[in-house]
Amino acid sequence: MKRAFTFVWVALLLSTACLAQESTPASSPMEPQRPPAGARAPSTPAQAVVPVPVPIAPPKPNGPVQRSLVRITNTAAEPDYKAPWNAGGLQRSVGAGFVIDGNRVMTNAHVVSNSRYLTVEREGDPNKYPAKVQFVANDCDLALITVPAPDFFKNMIPLKFGGIPALESTVSAYGYPIGGERMSVTTGIVSRIDFQLYTHSSIDQHLAIQISAQINPGNSGGPVMQDGKVVGVAFQGYSGEIAQGVAYMIPTPVINRLLKDISDGHYDKYPDLGITYAKLQNPAQRKFLGLNDDDRGVLVSTVVTAGPSADILRPGDVLLAIDGHPIASDSNVELEGERAEFQEVVERKFRGDSVKFDIWRDKKPMTVTIRLYTPWPYLILGHSYDVHPRYVLYGGLLFQPLNLDLLESYRPTDLRLRHFFEYFVQDQIYLRHPDVIVLTNILPDPINTYLTAYRGGIVDEVNGKKIHTLDELASAFAETPEHFVIRLIGDGPPLVLDRNKVEAARERIKTRYNVLKEQNLEEQSISKTPQQVSKI
Partner 1 sequence: MPRRFCIVFGILLVAATGALAKKEPALPTSVNATKQLALVRVNVTGQSYDYFRPWQKKAPFSKRALGAVLSKGRVLVTADLVANQNYVELERAESGEKTAANVQVIDYEANLALLEPTEKTFLDGITPLEITPDTVVGDRLAAWQLEPTGALLATEGLVTTIQMTQYPIDVGQFLTYRVSIPMQYRENSYTVPLVKNNKLAGLLLRYDSRSQLLDAIPAPIITHFLKEAESQKYRGFPSAGFSFFPTRDPELRQFAGETGKAGGVYVTRVESNMPAMKAGLQVGDIVTAVANHDIDQNGNYVDPLYGKIEFTNLLTAHAYSGDVVPLRIERDGKPMQLNVTLEHRDARDYISPPYNFDEPPRYYVLGGLIFQELSRQYLKEWGPNWQREAPQRLVYFDRFQSELFPDANRRVVILSQVLPANTTIGYDDVAYLTVTKVNGREIKSLGDLAEAIKQPVEGFIKIETEEDPKQIELDAAQVAADAPNLQENYGISSLDRLD
Closer of 145 and 476 to partner 1 (Cβ):
476
Closer of 148 and 446 to partner 1 (Cβ):
446
Q: Are 484 and 478 in contact (CB under 8 A)?
A: no
User: Given the rule CB under 8 A, which of 118-126, 271-279, 404-412, 526-534 is the region that contacts partner 1?
Assistant: 271-279
Choice from 70, 173, 273, 497 touching partner 1 (CB under 8 A): 497
Choice from 415, 464, 478, 507 touching partner 1 (CB under 8 A): 415
Integer distance in angstroms from the first to the last C-alpha of the chain? 23
Task: Provide φ and ψ at 46, rounded to 5°.
Answer: -60, -40
User: What's the closest the beta carbon of residue 328 comes to partner 1, in angstroms?
Assistant: 13
Range 282-341, binding partner 1 (CB under 8 A): 282-285, 287-289, 299, 301-302, 315-316, 329
CA distance 446 to 428: 39
Choice from 40, 182, 339, 418 touching partner 1 (CB under 8 A): 418
Choice from 63, 179, 188, 494 touching partner 1 (CB under 8 A): 494
User: Given the rule CB under 8 A, which of 124-132, 217-225, 262-270, 484-492 is the region that contacts partner 1?
Assistant: 484-492
User: What's the closest the beta carbon of residue 399 comes to partner 1, in angstroms?
Assistant: 18
Q: Are 149 and 98 in contact (CB under 8 A)?
A: no
Q: Are 373 and 536 in contact (CB under 8 A)?
A: yes
The catalytically annotated residue of 115, 184, 220, 329 is 220
Cα angle 356, 359, 364 (rounded to 5 degrees) comes to: 140
For residue 266, indicate whether it is catalytic.
no
User: What's the closest the beta carbon of residue 301 comes to partner 1, in angstroms?
Assistant: 4
* 130 part of the interface to partner 1, by CB under 8 A: no
* 493 part of the interface to partner 1, by CB under 8 A: yes
* 465 part of the interface to partner 1, by CB under 8 A: no
CA distance 46 to 467: 63
Closer of 119 and 305 to partner 1 (Cβ):
305
Closer of 119 and 301 to partner 1 (Cβ):
301
Task: Quote the DSSP letter at residue 453.
Answer: G
CA distance 258 to 396: 43
For residue 220, indicate whether it is catalytic.
yes
Q: Is the dihedral of CA 114, 176, 256, 340 positive or negative?
A: negative
* 4 part of the interface to partner 1, by CB under 8 A: yes
Q: Are 177 and 203 in contact (CB under 8 A)?
A: no
How far from 227 is each of 60, 61, 63, 149, CA to CA, in Å? 9, 6, 9, 31
* 151 part of the interface to partner 1, by CB under 8 A: no
Cα angle 319, 357, 7 (rounded to 5 degrees) comes to: 60
Range 432-451, binding partner 1 (CB under 8 A): 450-451
For the residues of 40-103, what is the DSSP string, one character each?
PPTTS-GGG--PPP----S--TT--GGGTEEEEEEEEEE--TTSTTS--EEEEEEEEEEEETTT
* 492 part of the interface to partner 1, by CB under 8 A: yes
Helices H / strands E in the chain, number of each = 9, 30
CA distance 383 to 138: 9
Choice from 26, 189, 278, 306 touching partner 1 (CB under 8 A): 278
Choice from 82, 229, 348, 483 touching partner 1 (CB under 8 A): 483
Which residues form the interface with partner 1 (CB under 8 A)?
A: 1, 4, 276, 278-285, 287-289, 299, 301-302, 315-316, 329, 415-416, 418-419, 422-423, 426, 450-451, 453, 483, 485, 490-494, 496-498
Residues taking part in catalysis: 110, 220
